Amino acid sequence: MEIANEWKDYEILDMSNGEKIEKWGDIILIRPDPQIIWNKKTKPEIWKKADAKYTRSNTGGGSWNYKKSLPKSWKVMYKDLTFNIKPMGFKHTGLFPEQSVNWDWMMDKIKNSKRPIKVLNLFAYTGGATVACLKAGASVCHIDSSKGMCEWAKENVISSGLKEKPVRFLIDDVVKFVNREIRRNNKYDAIIMDPPSYGRGANGEVWKFEDNISDLIELCMGVLSDNPLFFLINSYTTGISSKVLANLLELNMEKYKGKITSGEIGLPMKDSKLVLPCGIYGRWEQ
């Protein structure tokens, strides 16, 4: 497992009974997490210090309970990257801090490539990977079906001082976009994808991970350059092994000479040996 242990502005303070209490900058939140199946609290007193808690509803969804008034958004930094945090309707904050292990990996690959790198970021969300790749010197095409997420990504790019860097933000269905890029003969040196377990595109297109991921990866071969740098697949889909992602890359990247790795990513708990599993990755790299 790769552990995201280089944060200064984010910490998990404790985990118990399906919840984690975490610190985002100066603000402390409690959010649910299905991986936390143990009931023992290591630091019971910490839980009283939460500024807000997200509680799931028995009928679906959930809501935030605020102990005090919080700003609509606030900033956290990871190394020299800056992100805007906002509590969302479905427990999220607009950032997955465990992804910092992938940001570091991508930035290192780009910085050491010694050539211009074009990155295609699919299901790009609020742009954590987009910001990282821009900071490392790449140009990025950022694709997400949500206008709100693309606007949030723009905010993160600006907050990180990268607004003059070469980036395109497109609100689109990823399959339709990749098909158009194939027809235009546009090529990319690196591809990032973080597909949802289930979702709908900009015009109601249905996406289901198990049914669609293989076809999408095969389709993306049509926009990959002759000398690719990396291909990263990230997933939070329950029941899918990281080895599945490695197998998909093995089948599709066999004509290129490179290395494939896969595994879990996780977040450490402060002053503890406990680690929260947070997802899986598959990587092909030159």
Q: Which helix (H) or strand (E) holds 209?
A: helix 209-220
Q: Which residue has the higher pLDDT, 60 or 272?
A: 272
pLDDT above 90 (res 24): yes
Residues comprising the chain, all counted = 286
Dist. CA 155–CA 286, nearest whole Å: 32
221-268 confidence digits (pLDDT tens): 999 999 999 999 999 999 999 999 999 999 999 999 899 999 999 999
What does the pLDDT read at residue 202?
63
Local confidence band at 201 (pLDDT 50, 70, 90 cut-offs)? low
pLDDT above 90 (res 113): yes
Helical packing angle, 100-111 and 128-136, nearest 10°: 20
The reported pTM is 0.94
pLDDT above 90 (res 58): no
Q: Which domains does the chain have, with CATH numbers?
A: 2-72 (2.60.40.1180), 94-285 (3.40.50.150)
- The contacts found for 37-42 with CB under 8 angstroms, 24 or more apart, are 40/16, 41/14, 41/16, 41/17, 42/14, 42/15, 42/16, 42/269, 42/272, 42/274
Q: Give the residue-averaged pLDDT of 51-64.
A: 88
Q: Which of 101, 100, 143, 99 is nearest to 119 (CA)?
A: 143
